[in-house]
């Protein structure tokens, strides 16, 4: 997120010649946050490669440093010397998370049960986002919270003498809430249980196991998952932890490869965790040519290289229950739908109303200024596609400082008849600093826009 009051940097994307070549996307953001959190907590050394070095993840690393972990960069790798489970130190200054929603919520869970005080702060955007759904279960464990109305930052928490383990049924599909409760369970005696009616990203369970925690996961006939974590066990560093490539970042390259005529690209080292592949599944249903090459395991997760070729897409209905596995990918799916034959209907999008921006309204507004036929409902979006891209483009998109809106509409410009501009490209650095460089290496055409001329 662009901090400070620097001038906006508008950018424009033009119709591209066929895209070609190999690209490796940055490490997965969710797993990068957790590499610093779990490595910083485990005893011994964790060597991390492929870490996403965006501002959000580095904020999590700084917070762990303030609580006693040693974290240093060594060439391409990060070396993390952890404190040992239960041995975090009271931070002597507020923990500043900038714009990192994942980082702040998971860290609150991690430090909640410690018998000390910690204060959490963030930038203006993060300070507007509600923290209550993470704080509610922590309060049940005995954590005291001093916060502004609506449980927003800045806020302070203080753990009890001895935290009480809880059984918590997550009221909404949220990997952050589930993870915060499990992390709180690490320093809580007894067994902490999370019941998850709809499965969400399971990186926390998989990675905790990799670091030596005792975790049991059971799924009943109705698909309800029960996760049990034994508290106060030892965690050990992982000598060679490789962060898989982020599927949410890969999404922009994949869609660009599908839409620009004549394209044939390979996106390497992409995380294939089933809780994160909703977009690939949807694109394949639309007729996309996506080959999964060299499937393998990395950091306890499934990984593959994706070969993507230009494809004629057809509109589909995307079921609401798929939303948790692709919540961040709807903006770029809407761009793919703009070039698909017929209508694409996406449902279950209420979560998009509470992201960095009202992401659903921002996507609809961007489609409108670029001539894409669409309808927007309270929790759904439908897009009427135009396979030849005729008449599409020409607009300036208001990004509302949302990196995914910016990148999605730059992809639109690569295949639309007319160039597409975004009002500010600075915040792309929060999640995907290499985006423009990687895309240009494949053949994309971007240029800076003089603000007035926009």
Polymer length in residues for the chain: 454
User: Which residues, at least 6 apart from 231, have a Cβ–Cβ distance to it below 8 Å?
Assistant: 165, 185, 186, 187, 188, 189, 190, 191, 192
Q: Which one, of 310, 385, 391, lies nearest residue 341 by Cα?
A: 385
> In the chain, how long is the greatest CA-to-CA distance?
66
Kindly report the backbone phi and psi dihedral angles of residue 121, in degrees, each rounded to the nearest multiple of 5, phi listed first: -130, 165
- Tell the residue number behind the tokens 């977009």, with chain if given: 279
DSSP H helical ranges for 141-202? 175-185
Q: At what angle do helices 55-66 and 29-41 cross, to 10 degrees?
A: 10
Q: How far is CA 95 from CA 9, 12, 86, 123, 345, in A?
A: 29, 36, 19, 12, 41
Q: Which helix (H) or strand (E) holds 439?
A: helix 435-442
* Residues in a beta bridge with 43: 236
Q: Is-cis flag, bond preceding 292, omega within 30?
A: no
Strand, helix or coil at 52? coil
Backbone angles phi, psi at 382, to 5 degrees: -120, 140
> Quick count: other Cβ atoms within 10 Å of Cβ 388?
11
The residue to which tokens 């996106």 are assigned: 267
Q: CB of 144 within 8 A of CB of 158?
A: yes
Considering 328, 402, 423, 424, which one is annotated as catalytic?
Answer: 328
Q: How far apart are the first and last CA of the chain?
A: 22
A 10 A CB-CB count for 88 gives 22
Is 328 one of the catalytic residues?
yes
CA distances from 115 to 125, 187, 231 (A): 30, 10, 15
Determine the Cα–Cα distance for residues 133 and 152; give it in Å rounded to an integer: 11
- Which residues are catalytic, by number? 328
């Amino acid at each position: 997120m662009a901090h400070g009051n620097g001038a906006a940097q508008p950018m424009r994307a033009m119709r591209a010649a066929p895209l070609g070549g190999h690209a490796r996307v940055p490490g997965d953001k969710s797993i990068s946050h957790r590499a610093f959190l779990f490595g910083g907590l485990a005893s011994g050394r964790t060597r991390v490669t492929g870490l996403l070095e965006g501002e959000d993840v580095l904020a999590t690393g700084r917070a762990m440093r303030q609580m006693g972990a040693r974290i240093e960069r060594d060439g391409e790798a990060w070396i993390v010397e952890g404190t040992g489970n239960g041995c975090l130190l009271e931070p002597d200054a507020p923990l500043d998370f900038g714009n990192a929603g994942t980082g702040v919520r998971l860290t609150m869970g991690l430090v909640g049960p410690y018998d000390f005080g910690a204060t959490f702060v963030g930038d203006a955007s993060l300070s507007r986002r509600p923290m209550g759904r993470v704080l509610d279960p922590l309060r049940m464990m005995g954590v005291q919270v001093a916060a502004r109305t609506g449980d927003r930052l800045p806020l302070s928490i203080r753990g009890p003498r001895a935290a009480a383990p809880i059984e918590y049924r997550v009221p909404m599909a949220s990997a952050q809430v589930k993870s915060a409760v499990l992390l709180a369970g690490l320093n809580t005696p007894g067994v902490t249980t999370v019941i998850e009616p709809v499965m969400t990203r399971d990186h926390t369970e998989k990675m905790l196991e990799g670091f030596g925690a005792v975790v049991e996961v059971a799924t009943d006939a109705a698909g309800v998952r029960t996760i049990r974590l034994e508290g106060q066990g030892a965690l050990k560093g992982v000598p060679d932890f490789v962060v898989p490539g982020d599927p949410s970042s890969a999404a922009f390259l994949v869609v660009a490869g599908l839409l620009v005529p004549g394209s044939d690209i390979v996106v390497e080292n992409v995380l294939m965790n089933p809780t994160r592949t909703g977009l690939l599944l949807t694109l394949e249903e639309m007729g996309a040519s996506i080959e999964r090459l060299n499937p393998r395991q990395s950091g306890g997760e499934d990984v593959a290289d994706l070969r993507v070729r230009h494809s004629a897409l057809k509109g589909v209905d995307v079921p609401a229950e798929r939303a948790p596995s692709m919540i961040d990918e709807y903006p770029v799916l809407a761009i793919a739908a703009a070039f698909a034959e017929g209508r694409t209907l996406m449902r279950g999008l209420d979560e998009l109303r509470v992201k960095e921006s009202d992401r659903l309204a921002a996507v609809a507004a961007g489609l409108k200024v670029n001539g894409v036929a669409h309808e927007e409902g309270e929790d759904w979006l439908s897009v009427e596609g135009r396979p030849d891209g005729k008449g599409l483009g020409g607009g300036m998109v208001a990004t509302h400082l949302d990196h995914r809106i910016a990148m999605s509409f730059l992809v639109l410009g690569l295949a639309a008849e007319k160039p597409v501009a975004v009002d500010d490209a600075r915040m792309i650095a929060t999640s995907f600093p290499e985006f423009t460089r990687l895309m240009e290496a494949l053949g994309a055409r971007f240029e800076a826009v003089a603000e007035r001329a926009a």
